[in-house]
Each structure stands twice: as C-alpha cells, then as structure tokens.
Structure 1
Amino acid sequence: MSATLPFHRRPGTRLALRYLLALVLTVIFVFPVYWLFIISFKTPDEIFAFPPVWYPKSLQLANYHVLFKDGDAATVGNSLILASVSTFFAMILGTIAAYSLVRFRTGGENLAVWIISQRMMPPVAIVFPIFLVYVWLGWVDTYVGLIVLYTAFSLPYVIWMMRGYIEDIPLELEESALVDGCTRAQVLWKVVFPMARTGLFATAVFTFVFAWNDFLFALVLTRTEVTTYTVQVTHYFGGQSNFWAKIAAMSVLGTIPVFFTVAVMQRYLVRGISMGAVKG
C-alpha cells in the first residue's frame, strides 16, 4: 500500500524529514554557541583568518588568563552576587505578597493586575530619576543599590507567578495545619513552600536570569567597584578595533553560571512551567 503513496507522504520519508528538520534547527541554534566558545580559544590570526578556521590548532588559554590577571573576571563574580542575592529576597518577599493576595484578597481583585503591569514600564524611562535618587542616597556603584533595584523590579514577576502556583494549593491543607496549632508563618513555611516548590524553583531561575542579563541599570549605576560582566564586555569594543578574543572569553565566563543554574534546576523548571500552564 505504501508503494502507491507519493514519496513525500510515505511514513518513513516523513519521519526522516522531521529528523532532518530537527537536525538543521539544532545546528542553527547551537552553532553560534559553538563559535563563541571556539573564538575564546583562538589566536588573533585564527580569529581574522579567511576562510574561517573552524577549530583552533591548539587551545589558547591566554585569553582567559588575561581576564583573571587584569581583574576583569571579577565582574562575573559581581553579577553572581547581585543576581543571587536579589533573587533570594525577591522570592521571599514576592511569595509572601502572593500568599496575601490569594488567601486574604489583599487589594481586591485588580491589585495583582496592577502589580504585573509595572513590568511593562520601560526601564529607560525611569533610569535617570533612579540615578538622581541613588546619588542622593550614596548608593551609586554599591551592592546595596543594585540589589534593592533588582529585587524591586523582580517582585512584580515573582508575585504574579507565585500567585498562580499558590492558588493551586488546596486551602484544606492550610486549615488543617492551623487547627493543629501552626501559626500563619508556620503554615507558609511548612505547607505552602513545600507544596509550591517546583513553582518556586522555576520562578527563581527566570528571576535570576533577568537580573543576570541586566545591562541598562548596571551601566548607569555602576562605575568601578560593582561593574557587572554585561558592562565589562562593552569595554572591549573600541572605535578603531574590537578585542574579539576578550569579548568571547568574557561571554563564555558569563554564560557558565546561567548554564549550570538551568542545568541543575532543569527538573524543577520543566515541572514548574507545566504546573503553572495547566489549570483545572
């Protein structure tokens, strides 16, 4: 029967075409990552060679050595501190706020919509007023300043996401804990947090990535002490020439923490997204 079907409609052919399409898309998306890593190990001659050198003759660690020697790699540590601490505070405060919205109807039915609408505000519209306030407070180029800012900008997203996860937790479980003598804080710690664990991890990953990738606020509100890696990369672009080896090496260093964070949290990430997407 299959012999009478056109070639492109045969089951084996359709499956092969799907695999071929998947392979092509994989190559398209993976190649830029591969090229970034390879450039970070190339010599200047190999970087500018034509035709392109697809892989270096020997791995050059000098590009990374220069970053650590000059102290530029410390900016990755700054980004890690800022993103991690701000994510921690945003998750704690945002989850408590979301619990209040769900269980106590704080602010009525429209407060949650107003909160998430704050994420729609373009950062460039408020970065200058924030800069003036930070100058007055003495928070420019400090960890405290950026942690407070990242936490504040992450809260709307955390509250909105955790609100959906907490709504899925049966109210009877909390009532049973209260009857057993738990305080409201204990209910939050012993019942809500464990039940919404996958949602917590999924939201935390995205919150971390948002803070990690920030450029505008870090550019305006830092100078030398708390420079993040996203700002440091721009220092390698010049009017006359660009230091592509440093750009690639710094980009690789900036990619590794996010890669490991997503890899470690992948199980919770997939389950958390699925739990938040499926209702009823």
Structure 2
Amino acid sequence: MKIQSSKQEPKKTYFSRKLRIWGRYGIITFALLFALFPIVWIILTSFKTPSEVIHSPPIWIPREPSFNHYVGALKLRGLTAFKNSLIIASASTVLSLLLGSMGAYSIAKWGTGGKLLPLSLLAMRMLPPIAVVFPVFLIFKTLQWIDTYRAVILMHLTFNLPYSIWMLRGFFAEIPKEVEESARIDGCSELGVFGKITLPLAAPGLIATGIFCFIFSWNEYPFALVLTRRNAITLSVVLPGYFGSQMVFWGEVGALSTIAILPLFILGILVKKHLTRGLTMGAVK
C-alpha cells in the first residue's frame, strides 16, 4: 500500500502543477482579451461603413473597408487637433526632461533641499488638476494666453516636472560616484560631467521618464478643455465633440481614436529596449 501511494503522489503533484500553470495562462489570456477588445473594436469600427456601424447584430469584420471616416475626422478639426497635441506633448516633455534632469541631478548628488524636497515634489504631482484649473484660467485670461500653446504647455510642465525630478533622481543616484570623480580628475567641469557622463549613463531612465510625461500630456483633458478654444485645441477635446445629443459619429470616433493611439504605439515600439531597461534600472542592487 505504501508503494502504491508513493507512486500516486508524483502523479497528483504533476497534474496539480499543470493545472496551476494552465490556470495562470487562462487568467492572463482573459485579462489580455478584456484589455485589447475595446481597442480592436474601435479600430475595426473606423473602417466600417455607416450601415455596418449601426447594424444589429453587430458586424465584427468590415465587409467593405473604407477610409471615409478618417477623411471626415481629419476635416472635423482632427488634423488641427493632432498637430496641436503633438506640439504641446513634445514641448512639455522636452522641457520636463531638460529642467527635471538638472533638478534631479542636484538633489541626487548634492542633497539640495534636504530629505523633504523629493517628497514635497511628489506631493505636488498628486494635486488634482481640477483643483487649480479655474484660478489658472483667470490668470491666463488676464495675460491673454487663452487658446495659446504656451498656456497648455506651461500647465503640463507644472505637473510633469515634479514627476520627472522624482523619477530621474533615482536613476542618477544609481550611477557610481567613482565614474564622475574620474571624469573630474581628468579635467572635466561639473557641467561636462553632467552632460557627457551622467546623462548618457542615465539614458534609459530619461527615455522611460520622457514616455510617461508624453503620455500624460497627450491624454490630458481638464487644462486643454478650459484653456483652449480653436487654435490650440487638442485631440482629447475634439474627440468628445463627436458625441452629440441626437447622434454619435461612431465612424469618426473610431478613426480619430485610432489616430490618437498610433503615436504612442509607434513610440513604444521604437524605444521598447530602452524603456524596459529604464523601468528596471535600479531594481537589482
């Protein structure tokens, strides 16, 4: 009896292990389908004809794919909004990395502001934008900055900069001091050490931080809604305008949503290696 039970135990262990593995795969597959289905559906909707969009039961695959919705979306302020979003997101990201890298380097290497400054910066990032959007609107209205790039860029920079400093501080702190000290011995100035040694070594961290800053600025809604009218309007403001009280332009919604997704998707593919390295930088001591 003991011999039979000992033979059955490995089989039970094997099947239980296989069951756990397949269970994990099943959960991951369900979560993946749950997350990707809306994206795939909105992309397919952008290629459907108007009759296919409202057809019941729904038509999953377009029978006659068409780009008419893309043409219509670009004509309905879509092209202007895409250009504005690209300019605002790029400018705020570059400024956040430029100013944030200098602030983070000062905090990481020289302890500027003491131990409470990094926590204070992170607390600023946690402030809800809606809490300050109306006072900011009154200030910018007095300055005649409403519906300008600089107004939206400045507010995005205000919220991106604390996050940029917080993130880059950790990356700079991981760089060995001996590397920088050897550069100083060789006659490199402090600015040269920062630009030629520290920044290249922290490039993955800069890329990871820049992507998150770009995503925040690209998707931001409250400031773009309140501070823009026509000239500086962004995709996040134009897209809800396609939902009317009597009808919804589902084809144009799908087309403009696809256009809004593409830059982030392409950016993620281009910097995939650096992004993965930047997110894991400092995780292993």
TM class, shorter-chain normalised?
A: over 0.9
Q: Which residue of 1 aligns with 2:169?
A: 163
Q: Residues 172 and 202 of structure 2 are in contact (CA less than 8 Å); yes or no, is this contact kept in structure 1?
A: yes
Q: Residues 77 and 238 of structure 2 are in contact (CA less than 8 Å); yes or no, is this contact kept in structure 1?
A: no
1:153 Cα deviation from its structure 2 partner: 1.2
Point out the structure with max Rg over C-alpha. Answer: 2
> What amino acid sits opposite 1:39 in the alignment?
T
1:12 Cα deviation from its structure 2 partner: 4.4
Matched, 1:176 2:182: yes
Q: Residues 146 and 218 of structure 1 are in contact (CA less than 8 Å); yes or no, is this contact kept in structure 2?
A: yes
> Deviation string for 1:191-232 (max 9, x for gaps)?
110111110111111110011110000000000001000100
Matched, 1:29 2:27: no
Matched, 1:271 2:280: no
Tell me whether 190-199 or 12-21 shows the greater mean CA deviation.
Answer: 12-21
State the distance in 1 between where 2:164 and 2:106 align: 13
Choose which of 93, 96, 111 in structure 2 pairs with 1:90: 96
| Identity of matched residues, % | 38
- Unaligned stretches of 5+ in structure 2? 1-6
1:8 Cα deviation from its structure 2 partner: 8.9
Q: Which residue of 2 aligns with 1:248?
A: 254
1:24 Cα deviation from its structure 2 partner: 2.7
State the distance in 2 between where 1:194 and 1:219 align: 37
Q: Which residue of 1 aligns with 2:159?
A: 153
State the distance in 2 between where 1:266 and 1:220 align: 34
State the distance in 2 between where 1:45 and 1:17 align: 41
State the distance in 2 between where 1:182 and 1:148 align: 34
Q: Note the 1:191-230 alignment, pairs <5 A.
A: 191-230=197-236
Q: Which residue of 2 aligns with 1:105?
A: 111
CA gap 1:54/1:7 in 2 versus in 1, 3 angstroms: farther
1:279 Cα deviation from its structure 2 partner: 5.1
Q: Which residue of 2 aligns with 1:261?
A: 267
Normalised to the residue count of structure 1, the TM-score between the two structures is: 0.94
Tell me whether 7-16 or 96-105 shows the greater mean CA deviation.
Answer: 7-16
1:76 Cα deviation from its structure 2 partner: 1.1
> What amino acid sits opposite 1:205 in the alignment?
I
- Unaligned stretches of 5+ in structure 1? none
Q: Note the 1:60-79 alignment, pairs <5 A.
A: 60-79=66-85
Give the total of aligned pairs.
279
1:116 Cα deviation from its structure 2 partner: 1.0
SS at 1:89 equivalent: helix
Q: Residues 165 and 199 of structure 1 are in contact (CA less than 8 Å); yes or no, is this contact kept in structure 2?
A: yes
Q: Residues 75 and 227 of structure 1 are in contact (CA less than 8 Å); yes or no, is this contact kept in structure 2?
A: yes
Q: Which residue of 2 aligns with 1:43?
A: 49
1:5 Cα deviation from its structure 2 partner: 3.8
CA RMSD of aligned residues (A): 1.8
1:15 Cα deviation from its structure 2 partner: 3.8
Q: Which residue of 2 aligns with 1:131?
A: 137
Tell me whether 102-111 or 193-202 shows the greater mean CA deviation.
Answer: 102-111
CA gap 1:23/1:7 in 2 versus in 1, 3 angstroms: farther
State the distance in 2 between where 1:141 and 1:154 align: 20
1:95 Cα deviation from its structure 2 partner: 0.6
> What amino acid sits opposite 2:43 in the alignment?
F
CA gap 1:9/1:129 in 2 versus in 1, 3 angstroms: same
> What amino acid sits opposite 2:115 in the alignment?
E
SS at 2:242 equivalent: coil
Tell me whether 239-248 or 125-134 shows the greater mean CA deviation.
Answer: 239-248
CA gap 1:135/1:181 in 2 versus in 1, 3 angstroms: same
Q: Which residue of 2 aligns with 1:19?
A: 25
SS at 1:32 equivalent: helix
State the distance in 2 between where 1:2 and 1:22 align: 30
1:52 Cα deviation from its structure 2 partner: 1.0
State the distance in 2 between where 1:58 and 1:81 align: 35
> What amino acid sits opposite 1:268 in the alignment?
H
1:247 Cα deviation from its structure 2 partner: 1.0
Q: Which residue of 1 aligns with 2:245?
A: 239
Normalised to the residue count of structure 2, the TM-score between the two structures is: 0.92
> What amino acid sits opposite 2:114 in the alignment?
G
1:29 Cα deviation from its structure 2 partner: 1.8
